[in-house]
Amino acid sequence: MHSITFLGTGGGRFVLLSQRRYTGGIWFDLGVNMIIDPGPGALIRALQFGRNPSKLNAVFVSHRHLDHYNDAELMIEAMTHGLKKTGILVINKNTLDYISEYHRNSISVIIPDIGEKFRIHDLEIQAIPTIRHENGIGFKFFTEEEIITYSSDTDYSPELIRYYKDSKILILNVISPDSKKTDKHLNTEKAIKIVKRVRPELTIIQHFGMRMLNANPNLEAMEITRETGVRTIAARDGMTIDLRDLEISEVDGQKRLFDF
C-alpha cells in the first residue's frame, strides 16, 4: 500500500516551540520509505504513528530552517542502523553543511538542481523551485499510478504552476489563514490561486503557524474547496492517506506510543 503519513503538521517558530502541532515532517511510503523535512520530534512521532525509522531508504531536507532539518541526523542514524553505509540524503545545497561530516560520510548524498530528475530505486523524483527561500527546494514524486507534489515553504509565483501541473495530490505548506500577510510563505488566498490553476485531484494543506491554528485549518481548507471546486483537506498529526483510494485513517498515537 502506498501511503503518506503526517508526523507533524506544525510550522513556524511559535508552533515549533509550543508543539501545539507536532513538527516531525512527512513519511512517504511509495515503495520507497522516505521522510521529508524531519523537524523536531521526527523520531518519536514516527514511532508514535507506527512507522519504523530503521526501514527508511531516504531522508529529504528542503531547506535549513529548524522545523525542516532538526532531526535529520537522528533519522540518518536510524536509517543506517548505527552508521552502516546505506541510505540516501536528498538535501538543498546550502543546508548540507548543517549535517555533520560524520553523518554525511555514512550515506549517499544527492544535491539536486532545480528541475533535475533523479531516482531512488525505481522511484523518479524531481527537485522543484521555492520562492523567496534561498536555495530551498520542493519535491515532485512520480509513481506508476500518481504524481505527488510537495511545495515545501514557498511564496506564491506563477512560475510554480508548471512544476505543480499534473499532480494527483498537491501538498502545500500554508502557514497563515485567508489573506494575512505572509512574507516567504503561502496563505489561504495564495493557495487558492495555485489550486485553481493546477487542479489536482486532492489538495492537502499543512505546516500551520499559530494564526492558522487560531483560525481553524479545517475552515480554511473548506474555503479552498469552495473557491476552487477541488477537494482540499487540512492535515492532522498522525493522519495517513491511502493512495489507492485517497481514504484517510488516523492512528491513536498515545496508544501506539505505549505499545513500544
Task: Please provide residue 12's backbone torsions phi and psi, each rounded to the nearest 5 degrees.
Answer: 90, 160
pLDDT range class, residue 18, cuts 50, 70, 90:
very high
Query: The C-alpha cell of 200 is what?
Result: 489536482
Calculate Rg over the CA atoms of the chain.
Answer: 17
Residue 256 pLDDT exceeds 60:
no
Residue 258 pLDDT exceeds 60:
no
**Model pLDDT, residue 254:** 52
Nearest to 2 by CA among 245, 254, 250, 253: 245
> Which amino acid, residue 235?
A
- Residue written as cell 512507522? 51
Rounded Cα distance between 24 and 105, Å, is: 24
Q: Which residues contact 158 (CB under 8 A, 6 or more apart)?
A: none
pLDDT range class, residue 227, cuts 50, 70, 90:
very high
Rounded to two decimals, the pTM is: 0.95
pLDDT range class, residue 83, cuts 50, 70, 90:
confident
> Can you tell me the mean pLDDT for 98-125?
96
Fold of 3-248: Metallo-beta-lactamase; Chain A (3.60.15)
> Can you tell me the mean pLDDT for 138-152?
97
Rounded Cα distance between 98 and 113, Å, is: 18
